[in-house]
C-alpha cells in the first residue's frame, strides 16, 4: 500500500513542515516507510512551494510522485500549476479562501475527485490568533479527510517538530483543523 501525497502553496506557509510532520508520523509512530521531497527552482523564486511525501508499508525505491492520490492546495497558483497530473478518484483538499473554485470544477468532474474544503488560514488567523499555524490546521484537515495517519501519532510528531513554546498552540490548531474540514462531494 503506497500513497503519493502532494502539498502545495506559497513560500512562508509552512508547506515543508507539513510534509515533514506527515513523513515523521508515518515512519516514527505508525510503523511505515516515508520519503519526503522538496523541490526548489525558478518556481520557488516565484513564490510557489511544493513538497511531496510517499508513504508505504514497504521500502520506497522510487521517491518521486508522478500522479498524486492526495493533493492539498493552499494557493491558487500552486493548485493550477500542480493539479494536471492528479490521479482519478484522488482526494483534493483546498483552502477555499485562497483558491478560485470555479476554475477547477472541470477537473474535479473529469477526474472524479473526492473534494474537501478547509478554511485553514482563516481559522488560524481568527480562531487561533496566528496565521502562521495555517499549515498545522491544514494538517488536521488532512488527517481527518484521508485517515492515512493516526491522530495520536500525528500529535506526537507535531510535538517533536514545532519550536519549543508553541506546542499548545499547534495542537489546538491541529484539533481545530480536524473538525473544520468539509466534504463537498
What long-range pairs does 171-174 form, CB within 8 A, spacing at least 24? 172/128, 173/123, 173/124, 173/128, 173/130, 173/133, 173/136, 173/137, 173/140, 174/136, 174/137, 174/139, 174/140, 174/143
Q: Choose the binding region for its own copies from 62-70, 106-114, 119-127, 128-136 (rule: CB under 8 A).
A: 62-70
CA distances from 155 to 82, 106, 136, 152, 158 (A): 28, 36, 10, 5, 5
* Min separation Cβ 110 and its own copies, Å: 27
- 3 state SS of 96: coil
Contacts with its own copies, 143-172, as mask; x by CB under 8 A: --------------------x---------
Among residues 10, 16, 127, 171, the one that binds its own copies under rule CB under 8 A = 16
Among residues 41, 66, 84, 147, the one that binds its own copies under rule CB under 8 A = 41
**Residue 22 and residue 149 in contact, taking contact as beta carbons nearer than 8 Å:** yes
Q: Choose the binding region for its own copies from 1-9, 57-65, 78-86, 102-110 (rule: CB under 8 A).
A: 57-65
Dihedral over alpha carbons 8, 90, 141, 80 (to 10 degrees): 30
Among residues 5, 15, 21, 35, the one that binds its own copies under rule CB under 8 A = 35
* Min separation Cβ 90 and its own copies, Å: 21
* Min separation Cβ 35 and its own copies, Å: 5
Residue 37 touching its own copies (CB under 8 A): yes
Among residues 44, 107, 108, 169, the one that binds its own copies under rule CB under 8 A = 44
Q: Which is nearer to its own copies, 62 or 100 (CB)?
A: 62
* Min separation Cβ 176 and its own copies, Å: 24
What long-range pairs does 164-172 form, CB within 8 A, spacing at least 24? 169/128, 169/130, 169/133, 170/133, 170/136, 172/128
Contact residues for its own copies, defined by CB under 8 A: 16, 20, 23-24, 26-28, 33-42, 44-45, 59-60, 62-64, 163
Amino acid at each position: 500500500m503506497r500513497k503519493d501525497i502532494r502539498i502545495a502553496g506559497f513560500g512562508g506557509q509552512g508547506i515543508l513542515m507539513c510534509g515533514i510532520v506527515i513523513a515523521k508520523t508515518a515512519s516514527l509512530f505508525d510503523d511505515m516507510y516515508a520519503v519526503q521531497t522538496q523541490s526548489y527552482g525558478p518556481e520557488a523564486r516565484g513564490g510557489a512551494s511544493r513538497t511531496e511525501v510517499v508513504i508505504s508499508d514497504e521500502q520506497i525505491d522510487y521517491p518521486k510522485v508522478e500522479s498524486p492520490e492526495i493533493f492539498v492546495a493552499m494557493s491558487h497558483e500552486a493548485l493550477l500549476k500542480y493539479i494536471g497530473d492528479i490521479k482519478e478518484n484522488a482526494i483534493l483538499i483546498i483552502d477555499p479562501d485562497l483558491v478560485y473554485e470555479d476554475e477547477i470544477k472541470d477537473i474535479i468532474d473529469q477526474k472524479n475527485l473526492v473534494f474537501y474544503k478547509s478554511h485553514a488560514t482563516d481559522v488560524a488567523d481568527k480562531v487561533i490568533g496566528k496565521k502562521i499555524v495555517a499549515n498545522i490546521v491544514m494538517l488536521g484537515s488532512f488527517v481527518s479527510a484521508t485517515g492515512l495517519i493516526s491522530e495520536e501519532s500525528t500529535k506526537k510528531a507535531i510535538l517533536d517538530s514545532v519550536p519549543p513554546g508553541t506546542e499548545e498552540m499547534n495542537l489546538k490548531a491541529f484539533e481545530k483543523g480536524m473538525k473544520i474540514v468539509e466534504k463537498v462531494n
